[in-house]
Structure 1
Amino acid sequence: MKVAVLGAGAIGAYVGAALHRAGADVHLIARGPHLAAMRQHGVRVLSPRGDFTAAAHATDDPAEVGPVDYVFLGLKANSYAACGPLIKPLLHDTTAVIAAQNGIPWWYFHRHGGPHDGHRVESVDPGGAVSAVLAPERAVGCVVYAATELEGPGVVRHLEGTRFSIGEPDRTVSKRCLDFGEAMIAGGLKCPVEPDLRADIWVKLLGNISFNPISALARATMRQMCLHGGTRKVIETMMAETLAVAEALGCEVGVSIERRMAGAEKVGDHRTSTLQDLERGKPLELDVLLAAVVELAEITGVEVPTLRTVHAISDLLALRSAA
């Protein structure tokens, strides 16, 4: 199995290291000091489950890698439309693209069935720009439940969680998913193949759609948001509105708001990825989290006043931080 990790940051390098440990032919595509460190020392993974080093091939030139069986996409979703020159050399006729993204994916309505089958979500696939680069037929969905961070160039700190749920847009249990799942498991990770990954997408989104923008607006950690009464109520309302949109699309999420809040509170003083991006001057990945659900509310006729309000304010924040 030949795998390219395009965007070998904290999550991508962690997955690549695990697959390399399982015996896969892994190629990490990165840049800058992180790339230089991986070339010299491999990927060092520091984890409560045991530290290890993986000396996978690392490069900044996908043409050096050539076509692969799987591309594990570790880029931010707002970089997908521009990744064509990077991903094109990695593709052959049957290459699968495993997109480890938060929020609503560009392929969401691909082979979805029902009245919205084939609908393009403009917020995440503007003008079809992402689909033109990443054909939905190649897509394998991936919901990440692991938390990692780059402690330094070439050094990944694994904080918690090892589950990477994957699944086909058409809800089949395919051989390409089963094969990739087996390799992930051999590398020490959990990788269930879900018949309907959309339910997992909404479970993860319940937290991302609320905690991520609020954390950036308030400069607050998970614990701080949970313990502040007024903010907690806003987050619970955002979650309720999100569940209503999911249900209108025929997706039963199967997790209560109370359980989701309890899990978030246990995380403690963790800074969301959106807050970290704001602090580092990086673009805020809010379209796939918040704008997309507001758009889905429009096509389903669900009222989401709190989501609309937070979206308006956080969108201004994103614009100002990018200026």
Structure 2
Amino acid sequence: MRFIVHGAGAIGGLVGGRLHAGGHDVVLIARGEHAAAMRARGLRIVDPEGEQTVVVPVVERPDEITFAAGDIVLLSVKTQDSADALRDLALAAPASTPIVCAQNGVANEDMALRAFDNVYAGNVNCPALFVEPGTVQVHSAPVAGTIDLGRYPRGVDDTALAIAAALSDATFLAEARSDIMPWKYGKLRYNIANAVEALCGPQARRGPVADRLRAEADACYAAAGIEPLVEPADSPRRGVLVDLPVRGADRVGGSTYQSLLRGTGATEVDYLNGEIARLGRLHGVPTPVNTVVQRLANRHARDRVPPATLTDADILREAGVDADG
């Protein structure tokens, strides 16, 4: 079993690096300065207990790989890049190649199913950051994160069990779940606060805009017949996966916050808040706050506006929502 990690940033780099350190055959697909740094110096992984450098094969395109039986692709690009990544993969890899969508949102799996026979949904919870070319950082140890997976749209097979076992040996908690998509919808309900955190700062994850985002999501889920699943408050997993300082510094902001901080020019909000807006339009449920947050986050990304420049009141006013209502 060889793992091809397409998108070796924060999550992909961490997962690929830890799998390689655990003795698995891994190839990373990355681009630009990050790929060059990993080729020259290896991939440096920093966590609360220290750091390690792993020397992993790195390529820049799928067509540089000779795919073979037993290869498994871990797709970990941001969702806005999935269509291009899958197109490149489909030109290089057999249609039978298993594709694990280790990504936020619920749209990637359906994209992958257009080109590949065996698609798996991966539900990832991992406090990882892309620090600089050649370096990723994770704020949890000794367990780096949780990564559950199952066949899309449902089911478990030997491949899912084998992937979960490999991840479990590589500092992750991993389970094969036959009902994986409800878990991904549960994660989406959490991720829709990523954009307000990016726009207003980390404290906004617990503010009135975040509450309204989730209320709109709940109404859309109910109308669509979606029953999301999340870890219960007393789950042992909640106590194992912790957000710890690294070299005395706390983690600041999630993936959307980091996109604005690095000025990447794009975020994945179209597949987070935009997914809730899509469900609302399909089922006649108003989603004014998710819609405004999506548009503001996209505008700030395009204009390279740094994170935490707005307030909850700014967003509610833009959405035409009564802050006290």
Question: Common fold, TM-score beyond 0.5?
Answer: yes
User: Does 2:247 correspond to 1:272?
Assistant: no
Identify if the C-alpha distance between structure 1 residues 176 and 39 changes in structure 2 by more than 3 Å, giving closer, same or farther. same
Q: CA RMSD in A?
A: 3.0
What's the secondary structure of 1:82's corresponding residue? helix
Partners of 2:151 and 2:178 within 8 A in 1: yes
Deviation at 1:52, TM superposition (A): 2.9
Is 1:234 paired with 2:236? Answer: no
Of the candidates 77, 80, 102, which is equivalent to residue 79 of structure 2? 77
Distance 1:86 1:314 in 2: 28
What is the distance in 2 between the residues matched to 1:79 and 1:272? 18
Matched, 1:207 2:190: yes
Q: What stretches of structure 2 of length at least 5 have no aligned partner?
A: 245-249, 306-325
What does residue range 94-173 of structure 1 map to in structure 2 within 5 Å?
94-107=96-109, 130=111, 135=115, 137-160=117-140, 161-173=144-156
1:101-133 superposed Cα distances (whole Å, 9 cap, x missing partner): 21222435xxxxxxxxxxxxxxxxxxxxx458x
Percent identical pairs in the alignment equals 30
Per-residue CA deviation, residues 42-89 of structure 1 (Å, 9 max, x unaligned), is: 222222355333222112243332215211112111111222563235
Question: Which of 248, 255, 275 is residue 223 of structure 2 equivalent to?
Answer: 248
**3-state DSSP of counterpart to 2:177:** coil
Q: Is the 8 A contact 2:109 2:120 kept in 1?
A: no
C-alpha displacement of 1:40: 2.9
Alignment-mate amino acid for residue 170 of structure 1: P
| Partner residue, 2:204 | 225
Contact map agreement 1:142 1:164 (CA 8 A) in 2: yes
Instruction: Report if aligned partners of 1:67, 1:89 keep a CA contact under 8 Å in 2.
Output: no
Quote how far apart the aligned CAs of 1:296 are: 1.1
Q: How far did residue 138 of structure 1 move?
A: 3.1
Distance 1:85 1:255 in 2: 32
Q: Distance in 2 between matches of 1:269 and 1:19?
A: 23
Maintained 8 Å contact 1:30/1:59: yes
Aligned AA (1:241)? E
Taking a change above 3 Å as real, the CA distance of residues 38 and 313 of structure 1, as seen in their structure-2 partners, is closer
Distance in 2 separating the partners of 1:21 and 1:192: 20
1:178 and 2:186 are equivalent in the alignment? no
Measure how far apart 1:146 and its partner are.
Answer: 0.6
Aligned residues: 288
Q: Does structure 2 conserve the Cα–Cα contact (< 8 Å) formed by 1:44 and 1:53?
A: yes
Report the Cα distance in structure 2 between the residues aligned to 1:153 and 1:316, rounded to whole angstroms: 26
Does the 8 A contact of 2:196 with 2:209 survive in 1? no
Partner of residue 9, structure 2: 9
Aligned-partner SS, 1:72: strand
Separation of aligned partners in 2, 1:170 and 1:84: 18
Partner of residue 120, structure 1: none
Are 1:51 and 2:33 an aligned pair? Answer: no
**TM-score, with normalisation over the residues of structure 1?**
0.78
State whether residues 3 and 27 of structure 1, in contact with CA within 8 Å, keep that contact through their aligned partners in structure 2: yes
Shift of 1:320: 4.4
Q: Which sections of structure 1, spanning at least 5 residues, go unmatched?
A: 109-129
Q: What is the alpha-carbon distance in structure 1 between the residues aligned to residue 72 and residue 112 of structure 2? A: 17
Match of 2:272 among 289, 299, 302: 289
TM score, norm. by length of structure 2: 0.78
Change (3 A) 1:27 1:241: same
SS at match of 1:83: helix
Residues 291-300 or 309-318, more deviating: 309-318
In structure 2, distance between residues paired with 1:242 and 1:292:
9
